[in-house]
Amino acid sequence: MSILAFTLIVWTGSLVAGFVGALTGLGGGVVIVPLLALALGVDIRYAVGASLVSVIATSSGAAAAYVREGFTNIRIGMLLEIATTFGAIAGALVAALVTPSVVAIIFGGVLIYSAYASSRPRPADAQSAKPDRLASRLRLNGAYPDKDGKLINYSVRNVPGGFALMGLAGVLSGLLGIGSGAVKVLAMDQAMRIPFKVSTTTSNFMIGVTAAASAGVYLHRGYIDPGLAMPVMLGVLIGSLVGARVLAHSHPAILRKVFAVVILALGLEMIFNGLTGRI
- For the chain, state the CA radius of gyration: 18
Per-residue pLDDT in tens (0 to 9) along the chain, 279 residues: 788 889 999 999 888 887 877 776 665 666 788 788 878 888 888 888 888 887 777 666 667 777 877 888 888 988 888 888 888 888 878 877 877 788 778 878 877 876 776 666 554 444 445 667 888 888 888 888 877 778 888 888 888 888 888 888 788 777 776 656 667 777 787 778 888 778 878 887 887 777 777 788 788 888 889 889 999 988 888 887 787 777 767 666 676 677 778 778 778 877 887 888 766
Closest CA to 31 of 213, 239, 245, 274: 239
- Please give the angle made by the CA atoms of 203, 270 and 82, to the nearest 5 degrees: 25
pTM, entire model: 0.66
Distance of CA 66 to the CA centre of its chain: 15
How far is residue 246's CA from residue 253's CA, in Å, rounded to a whole number? 14
Measured between alpha carbons, how far apart are the two ends of the chain, in Å? 20
In total, how many domains does the chain have? 1
Q: Give the structural domain span for 117.
A: 3-275
- pLDDT, residue 177, reads 64
Yes or no: say if 27 and 58 are a contact pair by the CB < 8 Å rule.
Answer: yes
- pLDDT, residue 125, reads 43
Yes or no: say if 61 and 245 are a contact pair by the CB < 8 Å rule.
Answer: no
Closest CA to 229 of 58, 54, 95, 57: 54
Within 10 Å of residue 115's Cβ, how many Cβ atoms? 21
How far is residue 36's CA from residue 51's CA, in Å, rounded to a whole number? 9
Collapse the DSSP code of 223 into the 3-class scheme (helix H, G, I; strand E, B; otherwise coil) and give the result.
coil
- pLDDT, residue 119, reads 67
